Structure 1
């Protein structure tokens, strides 16, 4: 029996809730919510008020909640963001569930939201439960590669102990870190937000932590983890959209060794379906067996099928 494939953060209705027409309404709602927040209105009052006006679904409201804030908070986050070049200057402190789940969502081809603060967030939601899936190992490998590329001296992952399977995830982090050649530790704490909010050199996309910590790295967005292209418009710094995973796809396709006539049909079939994770696995298999070449031709031919 093959390994079970799980799509973290996937909802079959996302194609309707984040269609082009829905996105335009969400962008308008974002502007209206931010306008009200900048004038002192409370977030808990503004969000349902505007969302009710547009008859948004719970999923759309969550997207707004995770992407909108006042201009003052956005600017404060930008000022406290540390240059990635300084990651090598000491230990970094990682919001474990936050970073890993974001990567799992990206690898699943599920929606990610890019806010005006430049931070990428998912819609998966933790809700006190977590389980390791088929994307977890890949997510940890991406983290290790990025830490090595940044010449990070050491890293400590903070996990919320009350969350289910936090101990198992902690053991997996340590196991995977043996290949990273840097000191890695895992701390199980009652509340990771409380601990990280008081620290410097934090890796997270959690708004509560970003608004309180001394300094943070935008690791998921800016180095190695930018898993795809959120659709953008000329008049917007951000937009809701599906993660195309274009960068990851190119990364694998450009490594493919030999070309075969049936490849394009297979790529179209997978790119145009809901089985994007299987598509990635197929590309990796082709790479290992070295059956194909001229990856650029394949990519240029099929990229229009990628959402």
Structure 2
């Protein structure tokens, strides 16, 4: 599995997200998105409308989409959120690429975005191939510490089978679990989202569709960000 350096920022990101002026514009866009989504307008058409209104480029629109949710979605997701003190003896299902890449991005000081639902999202994606970065081991270490500290009974990691290198990542996580005596199971499946949403396990993800459809969720990034110093690149509008 080839190693990239970081999951970090793109060259233009400081200009797109880092200034007070830009953050005000993004906040206005998210407010408008929330208004329309709460009234039943479609996400795609609303994003186009709002993106044009505030002259946002594709990357900024992606961030606005990640931060926006309807009132109903926010209430639904929060009503199913499990608190850390209630995790002991429970079983969790980790949305593998979603969680790892988000942690890697945060540890790389890339911009990440706090949604109206309280969940953090990033701008990275897998594009058919997963490449390890310098922060991959640290990201897994954070999840190991969390798993032990909260005395979780079992974790099932799910990765997209079609993604290149998912097999190597599975092997790496299984070895870590074995070395550290962790009750972890790693599966490669064709549609992790559906499997997580239909399971009885607590979903560990920031994927909006899974959060809408899963029976319970835990906000891992909120938990992690309370413990690591990454505030400069966490956009919280």
Scaled by the length of structure 2, the TM-score of the pair is: 0.92
Q: CA deviation at 1:66?
A: 1.0
Match of 1:300 in 2: none
Task: Check conservation: 1:102, 1:121, Cα contact below 8 A.
Answer: yes
1:11 aligns with 2:14: no
1:85-124 Cα shifts (integer Å, max 9, x gaps): 2222222111111111111101111011001211111111
Match of 1:287 in 2: none
Task: Check conservation: 1:91, 1:153, Cα contact below 8 A.
Answer: yes
Match of 1:265 in 2: none
Give matches, 1:50-199, under 5 Å. 50-199=50-199
1:212 aligns with 2:213: yes
1:189-246 Cα shifts (integer Å, max 9, x gaps): 001001111123111111010000000111122146754226799xxxx32xxxxxxx
Structure with bigger RCO (C-alpha 8 Å, 6+ apart): 2
Structure 2 unaligned regions, length at least 5:
none
Task: Check conservation: 1:9, 1:122, Cα contact below 8 A.
Answer: no
1:13-40 Cα shifts (integer Å, max 9, x gaps): 0010012111100000110111111122
Match of 2:30 in 1: 30
1:154-182 Cα shifts (integer Å, max 9, x gaps): 11100100011100111111112234332
Q: Structure 2 CA distance, aligned partners of 1:182 and 1:86?
A: 19
1:229 aligns with 2:221: no
Q: Which has the larger radius of gyration?
A: 1
Q: CA RMSD in A?
A: 2.0
1:40 aligns with 2:40: yes
Task: Check conservation: 1:142, 1:224, Cα contact below 8 A.
Answer: no
Q: Structure 1 CA distance, aligned partners of 2:67 and 2:36?
A: 15
- Shift in alpha-carbon separation, 1:180–1:220, aligned structure 2, 3 A: farther
Q: Structure 1 CA distance, aligned partners of 2:3 and 2:195?
A: 35
Task: Check conservation: 1:142, 1:225, Cα contact below 8 A.
Answer: no
Q: Bigger CA drift: 142-151 or 87-96?
A: 87-96
Task: Check conservation: 1:219, 1:225, Cα contact below 8 A.
Answer: no
Q: CA deviation at 1:54?
A: 1.3
Task: Check conservation: 1:112, 1:230, Cα contact below 8 A.
Answer: no
1:203 aligns with 2:204: yes
